[in-house]
Amino acid sequence: MQKLLTLLQINDSMFPIGSFTHSYGLESYIDAQLVKDTETARKYAENMLKYNLFYNDAAFLNKIYDFANGRKVWKKLVELDDFITALKAPYEIRQASHKLAIRFLKTAQSLKPYPFCQKYLDAIQSGEVVGHYPIAFGLYAQLSGIEKKDALSAFYYNSLNGIVTNCAKIIPISQMHSQKILFDLQDLIEELVEKQEDLDENLVGLCCIGQEIKCMQHEKLYTRIYIS
């Protein structure tokens, strides 16, 4: 029960790490009228899960679980951190991942500290590594004894919840339509979690070009609500 409650707490949208201040390019899609109603919001959310999260942040979280108990763990973690930094080409999403990692680790470590998480946080703050949220979340979840599939499911759901919440705020769409999108995409999350382990290593970090362009365009928007 404690593992489940820990997962619910660190994955809650109210966990104070500032994730609500980021739209990851969604604001640019809405500005361009590509996402403008419930139907386009649902399609956008579905595509982000299937073509972005699956190949990127969820795949990075999955890798943390794969080598967290193996040999040369720290070396592999640093290599993964460098890999993610290189892949996150848009400045805003690279900074978002960095800031969320710091805030997540500081908050989670204040609840129940783990030496290896502290080592990662210290390395981020010293500049040894950039620091990225999926690594931070994956490390803490794994050290808390949370099963990989549970951590992945929660990570996917929280990402979807953030997308839908942002759509509800700035399109806007109704709360009822928002909940329908969340419910309807549960099967997709389950499917992606089941497929995560079998993802071809060469496809990890696959670029989602449209979203990256919109993230870059966000930096130049005349009016912005979100940091990214």
Instruction: Give the residue among 1, 21, 10 at the shortest CA–CA distance from 157.
Output: 10
Domain boundaries, the chain: 21-218
Quick: pLDDT tens for 18-56. Answer: 777 778 788 888 888 998 999 999 999 999 999 999 999
- Give the residue among 14, 6, 37, 17 at the shortest CA–CA distance from 131: 17
Overall CATH class of domain 21-218: mainly alpha
Question: 59 pLDDT exceeds 90?
Answer: yes
Are 194 and 62 in contact by the 8 Å Cβ rule? The answer is: no
Q: Dump pLDDT digits (tens) for 157-199.
A: 999 999 999 989 989 999 999 999 999 999 999 999 999 999 9
Distance of CA 120 to the CA centre of its chain: 18
pTM of the complete model: 0.94
What CA–CA distance (Å, rounded) separates 192 from 4?
21
- Residue type, position 195, single letter: K
- Residue 156 near residue 192, CB atoms below 8 Å: yes
